[in-house]
Amino acid sequence: MKLFVSVLLTSGSVFAQSFQGSLRGRVTDPKRALTPNTKLTITDEATKLGRSLPLGRGKPFFSINRILDYAVGGWSANAFGVAQTEYPLSVTQSNNNSVIGASYQRPNATGISPVTSGSTEDRINGWLNPAAFSQAPQFTFGNISRFLDVRGPGLFNVDLSLFKSFSIKERVKAQFRAEALNSTNTVYFGTPNTTLTSSNFGLITSQINNPRLVQLGVRATF
């Protein structure tokens, strides 16, 4: 069982904040049995920033000229960013030991490092080094650890938005909204195949996020 912890940092006029805390508890499997040798990882750290621009009526700049207020007043900009590492990987093979009563088991380590070099794009077709593992023979247990010191591809995402609020009449207000999701158009790849007996072992064959999406809209309230 993986324990997921999410930390959200929200900032108004300040650009950065930091928080400290502690986590206490137990990790159990679906049958509520304690799970030993469990590694806890905070996998999602996010920062949100929203600012109203100091322009237009009631603001420090261009607050007197009505024409300029319509043009430059009522704007606000927002940004939401996430940067996270992936979970540590766990390699398995088909079960050769009927005693453990599971469909899979751990293989053996050969002593060669499972880490491959290069950028994320360079490692799509070889995230793990297959020479680092060998199948555990029949009726034996594999000797690799539950989790490797190797993680899947990380996530970096920035969403941006720009709003323009204005009054049409005293009781009728409108807001123009422009939003860019995954504004940097950064790919978030899925985790590699970690089944040693699979022909796709070590390969990344999926993308989790969507390409950049731009949305334009108008909201009216009355």
For residue 67, what is the enclosing H or E element? Answer: helix 66-72
- Give the model's pLDDT for residue 165: 84
Q: Is the dihedral of CA 54, 57, 58, 63 positive or negative?
A: positive
Reading phi first (left if > 0) and then psi (alpha if -120 to 50, else beta), residue 194 is in alpha
Distances (CA, A) of 165 to 57, 60, 149, 174, 176: 12, 17, 50, 6, 6
Spatial distance between the Cα atoms of 58 and 69, rounded to a whole number of angstroms: 10
Q: What does the DSSP assignment read for 134-161?
A: EPPPTT----S-SS-S-B---EEEEEEE
Domain extents in the chain: 6-221
- Give the model's pLDDT for residue 107: 94
Helix, strand, or coil (residue 191)? coil
pLDDT tens for the chain, 222 residues long, are 333 333 333 333 333 444 455 556 666 655 556 666 565 555 445 555 555 555 555 555 555 566 666 677 778 888 999 888 888 999 999 888 767 777 889 999 999 999 999 999 999 999 999 999 999 998 888 999 999 999 999 989 999 999 988 877 778 888 889 999 999 999 999 999 999 999 999 999 999 999 999 999 988 888
**11: CB partners within 8 A, 6+ apart:** 17, 47, 48, 49
- Give the model's pLDDT for residue 52: 57
Q: Which of 38, 39, 86, 83 has the alpha carbon at shortest distance from 191?
A: 86
Supply the pTM of this predicted model: 0.63
